């Protein structure tokens, strides 16, 4: 992997410590931020990608943004939870490019770093553990606003700790699309880096030196979806993050993501998220 392609630029949103008694049971979670869980005591289960993973003491677990998943817990379970997100300035998410391991085994250094991150970021705990209550609410806005009041030294230290945590997962990461040929890899890199602009299928076909029909067939064969569907999914994911972090109007969102038709953006947002952007924004402001 060429290291210059991957910029691990994450910002802390939440960190807290929680003790559960058979009450960590949530289904169909799908958030615009990435989660790291560090298990201190007990056992629970994570369901994602059609599999069920036992969460074990002393291990760390990574769930990237926009990854549907569920939790199950039927006994005592204690953990640190860390929520992070990539900056809006990043055009391409590292999770678009790489598959990260779900689990890594912790060591004394990692556990000490997590405890240090927790100690230097007071007030970043969740008020509610139900994802429906904190994924889209003033809880997130409050924690985002706190970043501007964190002393620079602690902000730099927090950033360094997050980098170290992610680097441990990164050590075992693999290319997300190892079987795509060079043409499709070049197209994907272009899409991720230019998601804020209009992206035409003819443009991508020309970039691949293929006819439009041949390009669509090859993209679908290698990526298991059409190029149009892939582009739209990435644009709406970016829109969700932008709505979370800044006060954009729906029209501003549409134009900043390369949509010339706001009505089409509204319809696409609802199709892919289940609700209109105005309703999504209203939940952010609850």
- Both tokens assigned to 38: 């560090």
Half-sphere exposure of 42 (CA within 13 A, CB side): 19
Same fold, 3-175 and 182-284: no
Q: Are 241 and 204 in contact (CB under 8 A)?
A: no
**Residue 143 confidence (pLDDT):** 60
Roughly how many angstroms between the first and final C-alpha of the chain, as a whole number? Answer: 43
DSSP summary character for residue 88? T
CA distance 120 to 117: 6
Q: 3-class SS at 101? A: coil
Checking 122-129 for CB contacts under 8 A at 24+ apart, the result is 124/12, 124/13, 124/14, 124/15, 124/16, 125/14, 125/15, 125/16, 125/17, 126/14, 126/16, 126/18, 126/81, 129/18, 129/20, 129/23, 129/24
Question: 182-284, what's its fold?
Answer: Arc Repressor Mutant, subunit A (1.10.10)
Q: Which pairing describes strands 76-86 and 51-55: parallel, antiparallel, or unpaired?
A: unpaired
Tell me the β-bridge partners of 76. 21
Q: What is the pLDDT of residues 77-96, one digit of tens each?
A: 999 999 998 876 656 688 88
Q: What is the pLDDT of residues 32-61, one digit of tens each?
A: 889 999 999 999 999 998 999 999 999 999
**Domain extent listing, the chain:** 3-175, 182-284
- State the CB neighbour count (10 A cutoff) for residue 237: 19
Question: 3-175, what's its fold?
Answer: Jelly Rolls (2.60.120)
Q: What is the pLDDT of residues 158-183, one digit of tens each?
A: 999 999 999 999 999 998 876 788 89
**pTM value?**
0.80
CA distance 251 to 260: 10
Chain mean pLDDT for the chain: 87
Q: Is the pLDDT of residue 24 over 80?
A: yes
Closest CA to 8 of 104, 98, 69, 121: 98
**Residue 181 confidence (pLDDT):** 87
């Amino acid at each position: 992997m060429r290291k210059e392609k991957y910029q691990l630029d994450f910002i802390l949103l939440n960190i807290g410590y929680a003790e559960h008694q058979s009450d960590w049971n949530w289904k169909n979670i799908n958030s615009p931020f990435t989660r790291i869980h560090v298990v201190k005591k007990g056992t629970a289960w994570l369901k994602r990608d059609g599999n069920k993973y036992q969460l074990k003491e002393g291990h760390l677990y990574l769930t990237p943004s926009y990854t549907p998943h569920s939790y199950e817990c039927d006994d005592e379970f204690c953990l640190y939870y860390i929520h992070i997100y990539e900056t809006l300035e990043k055009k391409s998410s590292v999770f678009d490019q790489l598959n990260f391991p779900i689990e890594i085994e912790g060591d004394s250094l990692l556990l000490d770093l997590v405890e240090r991150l927790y100690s230097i970021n007071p007030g970043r705990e969740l008020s509610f553990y139900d994802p429906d209550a904190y994924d889209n609410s003033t809880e997130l806005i409050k924690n985002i606003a706190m970043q501007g009041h964190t002393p620079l030294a602690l902000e730099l230290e927090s950033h360094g700790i997050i980098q170290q945590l992610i680097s441990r997962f990164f050590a075992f990461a693999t290319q997300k699309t190892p079987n795509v040929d060079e043409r499709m890899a070049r197209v994907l890199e272009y899409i991720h880096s230019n998601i804020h602009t209009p992206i035409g299928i003819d443009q991508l076909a020309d970039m691949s030196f293929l006819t439009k029909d041949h390009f669509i067939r090859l993209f679908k064969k290698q990526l298991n979806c059409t190029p149009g569907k892939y582009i739209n999914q990435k644009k709406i994911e970016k829109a969700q993050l932008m709505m979370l972090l800044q006060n954009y109007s729906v029209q501003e969102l549409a134009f900043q993501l390369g949509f010339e038709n706001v009505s089409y953006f509204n319809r696409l947002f609802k199709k892919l998220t289940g609700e209109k952007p105005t309703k999504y924004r209203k939940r952010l402001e609850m």
